[in-house]
């Protein structure tokens, strides 16, 4: 037996309910015919973001204005009957595609039915429908100006991702001390978390009319790029077959990275430590066995991947919050 979804009232549901009630009250107070249709306009234009809402409102207003003119002219010429109604819809829907306002087809059909049922098609009908659009779409726009801040959610995702990065690098550090070990790190779960965070950051961009980018989105994008490098680092650690004199230094470096995941201040210092290990690796005697050769090759590749990890962050810079302050992260 299938389980029912948990009952909850979201912020968008509250806005829709209030908007519908206001639409009907205002339209009725003005004395508009078909005043209940203003509630339909509100429902269709309540969106998840301000930008999407504005796009929906513009699309619906244009399409409704088009159908109002088209319906009034054709009904006046051919009569108000079902066949003519179907003909208008047949002509109108392709027209909305041409003008890229097909999102407003459903709303336009409501206006078209008002014209279809009108006793007389005159200026009063035209003004009535325009006022209905202004009331319904206007209230929807005002409702969508009220959007909950996503900063708290984004900060939560940021901390969650940084905590997991810290745990992963601590695991890397420990495993460098124990060669030829398999790492069981939930990279796929972390990837999903980052993708969710990017989705919310992108939605936050769409909640601002004058902002076309989001520092959080670039931050999570940077973390996703680092995640690919961490996957390769894990493969290199698993490829280490025997104990090497540089493993202790590498383990210490990975521990430093783990302890400073949320800091950008020491990136240059860690790169300096990495270069010192690489110089020392180049000065060592050549390997005397296949196992040692493969281990040295894995160490060299690991240093390359770790260097790229640090460079990615140094190129990102700082995370700018919406209030103008900065936070530095690694």
Sign, Cα dihedral of 39, 45, 48, 53: negative
Residue with structure tokens 């900060």? 155
Close Cβ partners of 288 (under 8 Å, ≥ 6 residues apart): none
Q: Which two tokens stand for residue 96?
A: 């909305």
Buried/exposed 52-74: b ≥16 CB within 10 Å, e otherwise: bbbbbbebbbbbbbbbbebbbeb
What is the rounded distance in angstroms from the CA atom of residue 24 to the CA atom of residue 34? 9
Residue 269, classed as helix, strand or coil, is helix
Q: Are strands 326-328 and 318-320 parallel, antiparallel or unpaired?
A: antiparallel
* Contact call for residues 278 and 303 (beta carbons, < 8 A): yes
What is the rounded distance in angstroms from the CA atom of residue 1 to the CA atom of residue 27? 45
- Which secondary structure element, helix H or strand E, spans residue 93, and what is its range? helix 82-98
Cα angle 266, 214, 58 (rounded to 5 degrees) comes to 180
Q: What is the dihedral of CA 216, 219, 221, 224, to 10 degrees?
A: -130
Residue with structure tokens 């100006």? 145
Residues of the chain below pLDDT 70: 1-2, 4-8, 48-52, 147-149, 180, 205-214, 242, 263-266, 287, 317-330
Sign, Cα dihedral of 312, 313, 317, 323: positive
Q: Which two tokens stand for residue 220?
A: 């999570």
What is the rounded distance in angstroms from the CA atom of residue 143 to the CA atom of residue 47? 10
pLDDT at 330: 43
Indicate the domain borders of the chain: 11-145, 150-323
Q: Which of 49, 62, 100 is nearest to 211 (CA)?
A: 49
- Which secondary structure element, helix H or strand E, spans residue 318, and what is its range? strand 318-320
Long-range contacts of 297-300, Cβ-Cβ distance < 8 Å, separation of 24 or more: 298/236, 298/237, 298/239, 298/240, 298/241, 299/236, 299/240, 299/244, 299/246, 299/247, 299/250
Residue 48, classed as helix, strand or coil, is coil
Most distant pair of Cα atoms in the chain: their distance? 99
Q: Which CATH superfamily is domain 150-323 in?
A: Putative aromatic acid exporter, C-terminal domain (1.20.120.940)
């Amino acid at each position: 037996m299938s389980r029912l979804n948990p009952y909850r009232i979201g912020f968008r549901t509250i806005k829709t309910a209030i908007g519908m009630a206001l639409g009907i009250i205002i339209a009725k107070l003005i004395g508009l015919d078909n005043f209940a249709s203003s509630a339909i306009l509100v429902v269709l234009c309540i969106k998840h973001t301000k930008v999407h809402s504005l796009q929906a409102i513009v699309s619906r207003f244009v399409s409704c204005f088009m159908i109002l003119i088209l319906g009034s002219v054709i009904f006046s010429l051919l009569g108000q009957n079902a066949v003519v109604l179907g003909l208008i819809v047949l002509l109108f829907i392709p027209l909305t595609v041409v003008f890229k306002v097909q999102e407003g087809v459903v709303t336009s059909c409501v206006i078209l039915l008002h014209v279809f049922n009108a006793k007389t098609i005159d200026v009063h009908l035209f003004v009535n429908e325009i006022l209905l659009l202004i009331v319904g779409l206007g209230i929807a726009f005002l409702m969508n100006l009220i959007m909950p801040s996503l900063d708290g959610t984004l900060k939560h995702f940021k901390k969650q991702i940084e905590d997991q990065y810290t745990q992963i690098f601590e695991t890397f550090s420990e495993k460098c001390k124990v060669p030829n070990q398999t790492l069981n790190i939930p990279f796929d779960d972390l990837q999903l978390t980052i993708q969710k965070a990017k989705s919310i950051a992108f939605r936050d961009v769409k909640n601002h009319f004058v902002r076309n980018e989001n520092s959080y989105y670039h931050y999570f994008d940077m973390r996703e790029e680092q995640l690919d490098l961490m996957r390769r680092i894990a493969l290199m650690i698993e490829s280490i077959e025997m104990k090497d004199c540089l493993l202790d230094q590498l383990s210490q470096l990975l521990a430093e990275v783990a302890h400073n995941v949320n800091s950008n201040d020491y990136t240059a210092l860690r790169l300096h430590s990495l270069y010192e290990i690489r110089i020392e690796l180049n000065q060592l005697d050549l390997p005397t066995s296949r196992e040692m050769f493969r281990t040295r090759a894995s160490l060299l590749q690991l240093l390359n991947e770790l260097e790229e990890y640090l460079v990615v962050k140094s190129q990102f810079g700082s995370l700018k919050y919406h209030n103008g302050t900065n936070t530095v992260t690694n």
